[in-house]
């Protein structure tokens, strides 16, 4: 195995393109090093992207924020602007692993690890965020939902890396929230999860909503019917019940050591309801 700390995105891309064997990108390393330890992957090349200028930056852009691919959970959690605008994105990302893992883990890494249960992803999907992808043919912006291809697989081509994630601007009276279910209070992989982003109208009804579910299908699901169920409502009980039912209807989970199909399906709806309430309260509290 060779280790290279790339100095530019182009150098990283060139290194990845030039490697005929297995290559892996190292950002926070909280998934990669576990895979190395277990022998699950034995890469010929590891390209560390943390020393590329801009990778650790959070910058205001077009009313939203661009977050470098190597920004850790701890760093994002300390950014007042992002926390105020996208609290659900931050809380989802900050749920990954321990404080120690937060010192290293990145959103882009969580996205590229492509676990159906990645905690950073549902909120990013609900936020309609985009990933900036650098590759041999230059840069392109891809909707978050377009990155995962299935458990452990992404749509990125050889040599492509994510260099940043963009969180768009928000109207007033908008917010988001993320909840997951785990058996303990920390240190577990989500058994089911839900990210909800809401924009409220002046009268307090939901003007638009995006609902995303994690750990209930091979990739994160955008629950469009669930969003419709609460649009135009003030999250009355019956609207939330319709939302939960719409969530359950699209779940295609598996039975495994972490949860059953039945449990995941039921819980996803419960979490979506609860996350919607939190997002609603947060949005309503904004001036």
Partner 1 sequence: MKTIHVSTTINGDPAEFICTPDETLLDVLRNRLGLTGAKEGCGTGDCGACSVTVNGRLVCSCLVLGAEAQDADISTIEGMADGDTLHPLQRAFIEHAALQCGICTPGILVAAKALLEKNPDPTDEELRYWLAGNLCRCTGYDKIIRAVQAAAAEMRGA
Partner 2 sequence: MALDAYQKREFKQVGTRPNRPDGVDKVTGRAMYGADATAPGMLHAKILRSPHAHARIVSIDTSAAEALAGVKAIVTAADFGVPEDDFLRDVQDHCMARGKVLYDGHAVAAVAATTIAAAKAALKLIKVEYETLPHVTDVDAAMKPGAPVVQAGRAYENVPAGMSENVTHHCEFGHGDLDAGFAKADRVVERHFKTAATHQGYIEPNACLASVTSDGKAELWVCTQGQYFYRTLCAALLGMEASQLRVTASEIGGGFGGKTMIYMEPVALALSKKAGRPVKLVLTRDEVFRATGPTVSSSMDVKIGMTKDGRITAAQARLCYSGGAFPNTTVDMGAQAAFAAYDLDAVQTLGWNVMTNRPKESAYRAPGAPLSIYAVESVVDELCQHFGLDPLAVRLLNAADKGTKSSYGPTFDQIGLKATLEAAQAHPHYTAPLGPNQGRGLSCGFWFNFGGNTCVSLNVNTDGTVGVTEGNPDIGGSRASISLMAAEELGIPYEKIRTIVADTSSLGYNDVTDGSRVTFAVGLATIKAARDAIRKMCSRAAKIWGIDEEAVEWVDGAAVPAGPNAGKFPPMTLAEIAAVSAETGGPIAGHYEVNADGAGVSFGVHLCDIEVDPETGATKVLRYTVFQDAGKAVHPSYVEGQMQGGAVQGIGWALNEEYIYGTDGRLQNAGFLDYRIPVASDLPMIDTVILEIPNPGHPYGVRGVGETGIVPPLAAIANAVSRAVGVRMTELPMSPPKLLKALEAKG
Binding site for partner 1 (CB under 8 A): 1-3, 5, 26, 29-30, 33-34, 36-38, 46, 48, 50, 72, 74, 97-101, 103-104, 185-187
Residue count of the chain: 287
Distances in Å between the Cα of 32 and the Cα atoms of 36, 41, 44, 113 are: 6, 8, 13, 9
36/142 with CB nearer partner 1? 36
Q: Partners of 25 in the beta sheet?
A: 47
Among 80, 138, 184, 285, binds partner 2 (CB under 8 A): 184
186/237 with CB nearer partner 1? 186
Contacts of 103 (CB under 8 A, 6+ apart): 72, 73, 74
Contacts of 44 (CB under 8 A, 6+ apart): 1, 2, 19, 20, 21, 22, 23
CA 263 to chain centre: 22
Considering the rule CB under 8 A, would residue 183 count as an interface residue with partner 2?
Answer: yes
Considering the rule CB under 8 A, would residue 262 count as an interface residue with partner 2?
Answer: yes
Per-residue x/- track, 131-170, partner 2 (CB under 8 A): ----------------------------------------
Among 107, 181, 199, 213, binds partner 2 (CB under 8 A): 181
Considering the rule CB under 8 A, would residue 188 count as an interface residue with partner 2?
Answer: yes
Q: How crowded is residue 283: how many other Cβ atoms within 10 Å of its Cβ?
A: 23
Residue 72 binds which one of partner 1, partner 2, none, with CB within 5 to 8 A depending on kind?
Answer: partner 1
d(CA 276, CA 87): 13
Considering the rule CB under 8 A, would residue 258 count as an interface residue with partner 2?
Answer: yes
């Amino acid at each position: 195995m060779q280790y290279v700390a790339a100095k530019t995105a182009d150098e990283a891309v060139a290194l990845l393109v030039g490697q005929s064997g297995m290559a892996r990108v190292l950002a926070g390393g909280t998934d990669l090093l576990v895979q190395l330890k277990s022998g699950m992957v034995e890469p010929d090349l590891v390209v560390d992207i943390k020393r590329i200028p801009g990778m650790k930056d959070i910058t205001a852009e077009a009313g939203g924020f661009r977050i470098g691919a190597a920004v850790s959970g701890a760093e994002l959690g300390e950014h007042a602007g992002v926390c105020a605008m996208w609290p659900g994105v931050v809380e989802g990302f900050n749920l990954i692993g321990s404080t120690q893992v937060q010192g290293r883990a990145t959103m882009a890494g969580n996205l590229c690890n492509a676990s159906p249960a990645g905690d950073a992803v549902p909120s990013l999907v609900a936020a309609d965020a985009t990933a900036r992808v650098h590759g041999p043919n230059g840069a392109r912006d891809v909707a978050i939902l377009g990155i995962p291809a299935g458990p452990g697989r992404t749509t990125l081509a050889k040599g492509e890396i994510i260099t940043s994630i963009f969180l768009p601007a928000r109207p007033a009276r908008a917010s988001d929230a993320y909840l997951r279910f785990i058996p303990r209070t920390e240190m577990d992989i989500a058994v089911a999860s839900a990210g909800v982003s809401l924009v409220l109208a002046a009268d307090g009804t939901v003007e638009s909503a995006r609902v995303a579910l994690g750990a209930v299908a091979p990739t994160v699901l955008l629950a469009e019917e669930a969003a419709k169920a609460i649009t135009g409502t003030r999250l009355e009980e019956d609207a939330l019940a319709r939302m939960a039912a719409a969530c359950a209807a699209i779940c295609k989970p598996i039975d495994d050591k972490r949860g059953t199909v039945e449990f995941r399906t039921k819980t996803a709806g419960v979490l979506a309801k609860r996350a919607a309430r939190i997002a609603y309260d947060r949005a309503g509290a904004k001036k």
